[in-house]
Amino acid sequence: MPVNGRMSKEELLDRINQVSFAVNELTLFLDTHPDHEEARAYFEEKSALRNEALEEYARSYGPLTIDTANDTCSRSWEWVSQPWPWELSRKGGCR
């Protein structure tokens, strides 16, 4: 449940996984149907949602991908010290 309009770390990771799955599946479909305009539009929509979610995650919890690892302000690499995504489970392991 969003707190103060923001998703929790787990919710945001779930969102990233959902849109990433859609982007991956659409990529495969477009490999065999490159002229399918509706699929291309849906791909662009989901790809934009994925990028937004990755950027939000990076702002709130640290980068998940090199694309969102923009640390020009502090010039440090502290993000490597944060827990890995699979370490976020309350039970200490993969879900």
- Dump pLDDT digits (tens) for 34-87: 999 999 999 999 999 999 999 999 888 888 887 777 654 444 566 667 677 677
Distance of CA 66 to the CA centre of its chain: 12
CA 28 to chain centre: 19
pTM: 0.69
What count of Cα atoms within 13 Å lies in the side-chain half-sphere of residue 63? 12
As a whole number of angstroms, the distance between CA 51 and CA 32 comes to: 24
Dihedral-angle region of residue 4 (phi above 0 means left; psi in -120 to 50 means alpha; beta otherwise): left
